[in-house]
């Protein structure tokens, strides 16, 4: 029994939590080693003293009230959560505590066992967590505001873009109707005058006017076409035989080729069906037009369509001036005229070709003709 008693006393003494036992008058009757360390007192300094000595001064009055109330109905209780309790060390410093109370009936009356835990570290971490959370909340709010601002800017930008497109369309329409008509009239008048003045001194000037008017008309037509294709998102397509289209386009160039004494070899024999818009004609005529423009008189042009698995692949091969490697990609961008060789042009033809091909899900590229000159390829997915 005696041995048990000392064993229990040692449990009490060396328990890891601070334990303070108080009588019904609030006097400290026992404390253990952990409590001595926690509060910085030796037990002899505390015994018989009111428990409030371990409470910061500003809370002492309330503590006495609480203690009296507790002793009128003592029961196990856990204090601390949400209460933010503090203890005071001998040196006057404060620290956060959690307290568990448990009454103990003895022959000397009711005692209360208080187990005190230093939760400074836990509080610090909670505080840090709260601060991090607050900071995060502020940052989320800032980002949300920024995002809303960016969204507004984007809406403004979209509206401006729409307006710019509207103006562009308007401008394209003006170019077409209000410029092409008078230009057509000038051209006609010039031609009539030319007939009258055939051979004399003024005809040189008139010829120059006609050439420039032709160039303007060509430029306006191409620019209008490019603008339309640029804003188009898709083209209406139907199943058509590319061979027949290419043959018809080639026919229309016969006269020009004869004028330049050029020879055409049309190799395509079989049909090749693809889902295309009739505008594909412009692709072929642009490539043929260039092949004629950028080749010397008397040279040859070869045209073919090959049915390649998933694609109809067309090529226009010339034995002309050829294209430098550096220029091979550039010339598909608008207004890029590379080696002009004194040939008139708008620099829009191949940009139009590329746009039409893109709208068909196809592609266009150029390679060297090993015998001198170039080969332009276009590839359209088969239907």
Binding site for ligand ADP (CB under 6 A): 286, 290-291, 294, 318, 320-321, 323, 331, 336-340, 345-351, 374
Nearest to 302 by CA among 373, 224, 206, 227: 373
| Least distance CB 322 / ligand ADP (angstroms) | 6
CA distance 235 to 247: 22
Answer whether 268's CB lies under 8 Å from 304's CB: yes
| Least distance CB 177 / ligand ADP (angstroms) | 23
| Least distance CB 162 / ligand ADP (angstroms) | 29
| Least distance CB 255 / ligand ADP (angstroms) | 19
Answer whether 377's CB lies under 8 Å from 356's CB: no
Which one, 17 or 289, has the nearer CB to ligand ADP?
Answer: 289
Which one, 349 or 362, has the nearer CB to ligand ADP?
Answer: 349
Answer whether 63's CB lies under 8 Å from 55's CB: yes
CA distance 318 to 304: 12
| Least distance CB 229 / ligand ADP (angstroms) | 13
CA distance 207 to 220: 20
| Least distance CB 343 / ligand ADP (angstroms) | 7
Which one, 99 or 219, has the nearer CB to ligand ADP?
Answer: 219
Tokens 């590329």, residue located: 354
Which one, 280 or 348, has the nearer CB to ligand ADP?
Answer: 348
Which one, 116 or 279, has the nearer CB to ligand ADP?
Answer: 279
Nearest to ligand ADP by Cβ — which residue? 345
CA distance 353 to 295: 19
Instruction: Check residue 253 and report its DSSP letter.
Output: T
Radius of gyration of the chain (CA): 48
Which one, 198 or 297, has the nearer CB to ligand ADP?
Answer: 297
Largest CA distance in the chain: 146
Helices (H) and strands (E) in the chain, counts: 12, 13
| Least distance CB 345 / ligand ADP (angstroms) | 2
Kindly report the number of other CB atoms within 10 A of residue 291's CB atom: 27
Which one, 32 or 374, has the nearer CB to ligand ADP?
Answer: 374
């Amino acid at each position: 029994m005696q041995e048990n008693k000392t064993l229990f006393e040692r449990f009490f003494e060396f328990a890891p939590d601070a334990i303070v036992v108080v009588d019904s008058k609030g006097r400290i009757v026992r404390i253990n080693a952990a409590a001595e360390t926690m509060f910085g007192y030796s037990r002899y300094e505390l015994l018989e003293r009111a428990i409030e000595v371990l409470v910061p001064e500003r809370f002492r009055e309330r503590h006495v009230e609480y203690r009296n109330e507790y002793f009128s109905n003592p029961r196990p209780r856990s204090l601390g959560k949400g209460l933010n309790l503090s203890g005071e060390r001998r040196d006057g410093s404060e620290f956060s505590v959690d307290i568990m109370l448990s009454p103990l009936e003895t022959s000397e009356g009711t005692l209360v066992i208080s187990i005190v835990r230093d939760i400074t570290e836990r509080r610090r971490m909670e505080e840090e967590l709260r601060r991090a959370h607050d900071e995060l909340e502020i940052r989320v709010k800032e980002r949300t505001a920024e995002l809303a601002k960016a969204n507004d800017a984007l809406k403004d930008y979209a509206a401006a873009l729409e307006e710019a497109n509207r103006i562009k369309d308007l401008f394209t329409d003006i170019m077409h109707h209000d410029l092409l008509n008078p230009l057509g009239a000038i051209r006609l008048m010039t031609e009539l005058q030319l007939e009258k003045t055939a051979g004399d001194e003024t005809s040189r000037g008139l010829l120059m006017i006609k050439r420039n008017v032709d160039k303007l008309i060509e430029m306006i037509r191409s620019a209008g076409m490019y603008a339309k294709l640029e804003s188009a998102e898709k083209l209406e397509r139907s199943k058509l035989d590319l061979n027949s289209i290419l043959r018809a386009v080639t026919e229309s160039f016969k006269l020009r080729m004869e004028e330049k004494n050029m020879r055409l070899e049309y190799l395509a024999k079989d049909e090749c069906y693809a889902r295309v818009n009739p505008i594909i004609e412009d692709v072929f005529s642009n490539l043929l037009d260039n092949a004629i423009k950028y080749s010397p008189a008397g040279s040859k042009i070869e045209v073919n369509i090959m049915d390649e698995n998933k694609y109809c692949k067309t090529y226009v091969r010339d034995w002309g001036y050829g294209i430098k490697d550096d220029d091979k990609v550039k010339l598909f961008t608008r207004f890029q005229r590379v080696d002009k060789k004194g040939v008139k042009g708008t620099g829009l033809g191949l940009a139009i070709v590329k746009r039409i091909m893109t709208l068909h899900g196809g592609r266009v590229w150029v390679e060297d003709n090993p015998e001198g000159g170039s080969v332009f390829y276009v590839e359209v997915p088969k239907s």
